[in-house]
């Protein structure tokens, strides 16, 4: 496996502990075991360590408070840059259900290959099977029937949980994909784009090169950190957003 590939599991501590185990095991097919990090709230960290006893202590990052996905990624990306300036990251929620692990692994490997050769922010877009109003949608620039295309596509718009009528239109055009919540990017690229678009988050981590591993440093950063999602804070603003079509089975566990 590529030693510069990492997985960051964003675990908010809610739901079944069994799901964290499944998610961790799934990514063992994608990155080396020692390159998997779990970011979770401090009050859930002991439970995460119990579920994943093999996880190195330095790979369990404890968030002092819930601040959504952008601060979570800032914490993880800065941590990885101190270890490996050439790190490439797949970031995933802990609570997704994936079917067809072989296709999942192949799709993710192809996305990694592209990201390693290009400074882009990639999200995996699920080819929708129904006009579900419980998911976010991503439109690409390639136009009608883009869902039949292979390889990376250029992101045009994001829509969060549309109406039933709008969802029907989205699915009929073939221009829209479900937002999987799974991202692939170089650590250096996502940090650069976060520093550009959400400096109100990244400025709080000033001095990360020396202090990111210190508990008190992280406490102070999170104390003033706004709640910002990666989609809203970065992906909807950046010119580097791309989508990799994904055809494996996918579901948000809350919808099962």
User: Domains, the chain, ranges and CATH?
Assistant: 5-255 (3.90.550.10)
pLDDT at 256: 42
Q: Two tokens at 100?
A: 């067809």
Per this entry, what is the length of the chain?
A: 256
pLDDT at 253: 54
Q: End-to-end alpha-carbon separation of the chain, Å?
A: 33
Each residue's pLDDT expressed in tens, for the chain with a length of 256 residues: 899 999 999 998 776 778 999 999 999 999 999 999 999 999 999 999 999 999 999 999 999 999 999 999 999 999 999 999 999 999 999 999 999 999 999 999 999 999 999 999 999 999 998 999 999 999 999 988 999 998 899 999 999 999 999 999 999 999 999 999 999 999 999 999 999 999 999 999 999 999 999 999 999 999 999 999 999 999 999 999 999 999 999 987 544 4
CA 205 from centre of chain: 20
d(CA 92, CA 230): 12
- Calculate the alpha carbon distances from 124 to 220, 242, 243 in Å: 33, 9, 6
pTM for the full predicted model: 0.95
SS3 content of the chain, % helix, strand, coil (to 5): 45, 25, 30
d(CA 7, CA 9): 6
Q: Where are the beta strands (DSSP E) in 187-254?
A: 241-246, 249-252
Query: What sign does the CA torsion over 95, 96, 100, 102 have?
Result: negative
pLDDT at 1: 80
């Amino acid at each position: 496996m590529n030693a510069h590939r990492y997985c960051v599991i964003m675990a908010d501590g809610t739901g079944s502990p069994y799901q964290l185990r499944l998610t961790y095991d799934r990514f063992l097919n994608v990155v080396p075991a020692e390159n998997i990090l779990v970011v979770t709230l401090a009050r859930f960290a002991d439970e995460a360590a119990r579920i994943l006893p093999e996880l190195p202590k330095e790979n369990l990052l404890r968030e002092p408070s819930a601040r959504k996905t952008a601060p979570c990624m800032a914490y993880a990306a800065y941590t990885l840059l101190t270890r490996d300036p050439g790190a490439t990251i797949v970031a995933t929620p802990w609570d997704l259900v994936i079917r067809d692990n072989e296709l999942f692994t192949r799709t993710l490997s192809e996305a990694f290959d592209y990201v390693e050769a290009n400074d882009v922010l990639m999200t995996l877009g699920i080819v929708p099977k129904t006009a579900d109003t419980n998911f976010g949608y991503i439109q690409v620039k390639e136009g009608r029937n883009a869902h039949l295309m292979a390889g990376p596509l250029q992101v045009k718009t994001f829509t969060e949980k549309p109406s039933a009528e709008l969802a029907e239109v989205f699915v009929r055009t073939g221009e829209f994909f479900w937002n999987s919540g799974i991202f692939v990017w170089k650590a250096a690229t996502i940090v650069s784009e976060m520093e550009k678009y959400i400096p109100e988050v990244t400025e709080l981590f000033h001095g990360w090169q020396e202090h990111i591993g210190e508990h008190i440093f992280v406490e102070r950063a999170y104390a003033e950190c706004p709640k910002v999602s990666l989609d809203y804070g970065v992906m909807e603003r950046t010119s580097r957003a791309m989508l990799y079509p994904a055809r494996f089975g996918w579901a948000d566990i809350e919808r099962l």
